[in-house]
Chains A and B, each alone.
Chain A
Amino acid sequence: MAHGDGFPRAIVHFDGDSFFASVEQAKDWRLKGKPVVTGGERGAVTSLSIEAKRLGAQRGMPMQEIRRLCPDVIVLAGDYTAYSIYARRMYAIARTFTDAIEEYSIDECFADITGLEAVHGMSYEGIARRIKDTLEESLGITFGVGLAPSKTLAKVASKRHKPAGFTAIPKDRIDAYLADTEIYDIWGLGGALSGRLRSLGVYTALDFIQKEDAWLREHGFAKPVRDTWLELRGYPVLPLGSGRGRLPHSVMKTRTFAPPTSDRSFILSQLSKNVEAACAKVRRSGMQATALSFYLKTQEFTYHGVQLDLPAALDTPPEILRAISARLAEVYAPGVLYRATGVTLRGLVTTGSVTPDLFGQYEAVEDKRSAFRALDQVNRKWGRNTVFLGSSMRAFTTRDAAYRKQVEHPFLSADPQKKRVLNIPYLGVAR
Chain B
Amino acid sequence: MPNITELMDLFNLSSRSSAFYASERLVAEGYANKDRTGKLVPAPGLFSVPRVGRIRAGFAAPAEEELADTISIGDFLLDNPNATYLLTVEGDSMEGAGILPGDMILFERTHDTKPGDIVVALTEDGYTLKYLRKRGARFYLEAANDRYPDIHPKEGQIVGKVTATFRKYGAR
Q: Does B21 lie at the interface of the complex (its beta carbon under 8 Å from any beta carbon of A)?
A: no
Are B90 and A429 within 8 A (Cβ)? yes
**CB closest residue in chain A, given B108:** A138
**CB closest residue in chain A, given B128:** A431
Question: With A428-B88, A429-B88, A430-B105 known to touch, is A137 a contact of B110 (CB < 8 Å)?
Answer: yes
| Chain B: interface residue total (CB-CB under 8 A) | 27
Q: Does B48 lie at the interface of the complex (its beta carbon under 8 Å from any beta carbon of A)?
A: no
Are A427 and B129 within 8 A (Cβ)? no
Are B83 and A430 within 8 A (Cβ)? no
Query: Which of A29, A93, A422, A424 sits near B126, CB closer than 8 Å?
Result: A29
Q: Chain A: residues with CB nearer than 8 A to chain B? A: 29-30, 89, 92-93, 137-140, 412, 422, 424-431
Are B88 and A430 within 8 A (Cβ)? yes
Residues of chain B with a CB closer than 8 A to A138's CB: 80, 82-83, 109-110
**Shortest Cβ gap from A217 to chain B (Å):** 47
Residues of chain B with a CB closer than 8 A to A424's CB: 78, 81, 84-86, 106
A/B interface sample: 6 pairs, CB < 8 A: A89-B83, A412-B86, A424-B81, A427-B85, A429-B87, A430-B128
Are B126 and A137 within 8 A (Cβ)? no
Residues of chain A with a CB closer than 8 A to B85's CB: 424-427
Q: How far is the CA of A425 from the CA of B109 in the complex (A)?
A: 12
**Shortest Cβ gap from B73 to chain A (Å):** 12
**CB closest residue in chain B, given A133:** B111
**Shortest Cβ gap from A131 to chain B (Å):** 12
Residues of chain B with a CB closer than 8 A to A429's CB: 87-90, 126-127
Query: Which of B84, B109, B122 sits near A137, CB closer than 8 Å?
Result: B109
Residues of chain A with a CB closer than 8 A to B83's CB: 89, 137-139
Q: Does B40 lie at the interface of the complex (its beta carbon under 8 Å from any beta carbon of A)?
A: no
Residues of chain A with a CB closer than 8 A to B93's CB: 431
Q: How far is the CA of A140 from the CA of B90 in the complex (A)?
A: 23
Q: Does B144 lie at the interface of the complex (its beta carbon under 8 Å from any beta carbon of A)?
A: no
Q: Does B91 lie at the interface of the complex (its beta carbon under 8 Å from any beta carbon of A)?
A: yes
Residues of chain B with a CB closer than 8 A to A427's CB: 85-87, 127
Query: Which of A29, A92, A425 sits near B127, CB closer than 8 Å?
Result: A29
**Shortest Cβ gap from B121 to chain A (Å):** 9
**0/1 interface trace, chain B 128-171, chain A, CB 8 Å (1 if under):** 11000000000000000000000000000001000000000000
